[in-house]
Amino acid sequence: MVAPILQTTSSSTIKGGNPAAQSRLSSPLQYSGSLNSFSHSDLTPVIGREYTGIQITDILKSENSDQIIQDFAVTVSQRGVVFLRNQDVTPQQMRDFGERLSHLSGCMQPSSSTLHIHPLTEESSELGDQISVISSTKQKKGGGLTHQLSDTSRFASVGWHSDISFEPVPSDYAMLKIHELPSTGGDTLWASGYEVYDRLSPAFAIFLEAVTGWKSVYVNRGFTRRINGVTKDESDVILQYLFNLVTQNHDAQVRFKWNKNDIAIWDNRSTWHTATYDYTETRTGDRVCSLGEAPYFDSLSKSRRQALGEGA
């Protein structure tokens, strides 16, 4: 049995968010320990964990799969991104896992869909419209963004983003499986929004992430245009400072070197990620992106360092 998910009641401490996209959690989820039998290593102190000996296909068939998947959600949200090597999971199983990960973590998706349909997904795709095909070939033909030798910017750091933050119901979790990759290059980096928050002075605007109850920074260089309530000049200065915290702090980042059939699962509410376009060979993969709740601020929430009892 998994922990009960209760309907969240309104609170005078909560500001912002979207009434149509709220978490169903009355308190942060607690880790039950169902993943303790699997070996893992934390790749940096603040973000990234790699498990060995786990197959998503086995989790989906397990008698206590709900509990394991819920603990997976807690772990992904706390560590930002989790890596699994050499997975034999199919696109349909990725969809199933993504839906259950979102549902069991307490997210309340719209009734029409639990997974995001990206506007660039090809119609009548053989994988279905809820699977985004990541393809270097399509990117070269104008089907995506690349930053190497760009006529817009030669800074690779302009690629940092979180997925679909432009949507009224943004993403909670995403998972990517790479099944064709270059002999070298093509790494992906993630950065921790929790750690970026912990480096801010208290006056900066912050948001709560429901699964952990930890404060994070929720901005997206590609889509965040203006902070309400301040002048345009002030907004530009604040946003640039936040973007710099993400891109210029390598100790708040983790870099993952892919092997064939590896999977990364991350929390879009509390991380950013960026691809590395340093290769010329083919690189392809499949991505599933579930819908979560809109970000909001809770004045009673804690930062990651506060919650873990670490020094600020």
Lowest-confidence region among 11-20, 65-74, 212-221, 290-299: 11-20
State the chain's mean pLDDT as an integer.
Answer: 80
Cβ proximity of 134 and 287 under 8 Å? yes
Rounded Cα gap, residues 22 and 7, in angstroms: 9
Higher pLDDT, 155 or 73: 73
Domain that holds residue 245: 21-300
Choose among 127, 147, 144, 126: nearest CA to 136: 144
**φ, ψ dihedrals at 166, nearest 5°:** -75, -10
Q: Give the count of domains, the chain.
A: 1
Is residue 305, in this structure, part of any structural domain at all? Answer: no
Cβ proximity of 171 and 290 under 8 Å? yes
Match 């879009």 to its residue by tokens: 268
pLDDT category at 141 given cuts 50, 70, 90 is low
Is residue 140, in this structure, part of any structural domain at all? Answer: yes
Is residue 15, in this structure, part of any structural domain at all? Answer: no
Mean pLDDT of 195-217: 72
Residue type at position 179:
H
pLDDT category at 34 given cuts 50, 70, 90 is very high
Is residue 173, in this structure, part of any structural domain at all? Answer: yes
Is residue 272, in this structure, part of any structural domain at all? Answer: yes
24-33, 38-47, 207-216: range with highest mean pLDDT: 38-47
List residues bridging with 234 in a β-sheet. Answer: none
CA distance readout (Å), 143 to 31, 132, 172, 306: 40, 12, 24, 42
Is residue 88, in this structure, part of any structural domain at all? Answer: yes
Lowest-confidence region among 17-26, 89-98, 139-148, 204-213: 139-148
Rounded Cα gap, residues 88 and 21, in angstroms: 33
Is residue 252, in this structure, part of any structural domain at all? Answer: yes
Angle, CA of 61, 64 and 69, to the nearest 5°: 80
Flag whether pLDDT at 185 surpasses 90: yes
Is residue 1, in this structure, part of any structural domain at all? Answer: no
pLDDT digits (tens, 9 = 90+) for 262-303: 999 999 888 999 999 888 899 999 989 887 777 766 667 888
Rounded Cα gap, residues 98 and 215, in angstroms: 24
**CATH number, residue 260:** 3.60.130.10
3-state secondary structure the chain: CCCCCCCCCCCCCEEECCCCCCECCCCCCCCCCCCCCCEEEECCCCCCEEEECCCHHHHHHCCCHHHHHHHHHHHHHHHCEEEECCCCCCHHHHHHHHHHHHHHCCECCCCCCCECCCCCCCCCCCCCCCCEEEEHHHHHHHHCCCCCCCCCCCCHHHHCECCCCCCCCCEEEEEEEEEECCCCCCCEEEEEHHHHHHCCCCCCCCEEECCCCEEECCCCCCCCCCCCCCCHHHHHHHHHHHHHHHHCCHHHEEEECCCCCEEEEEECCCEEEEECCCCCCCCEEEEEEEECCCCEEECCCECHHHHCCCCC
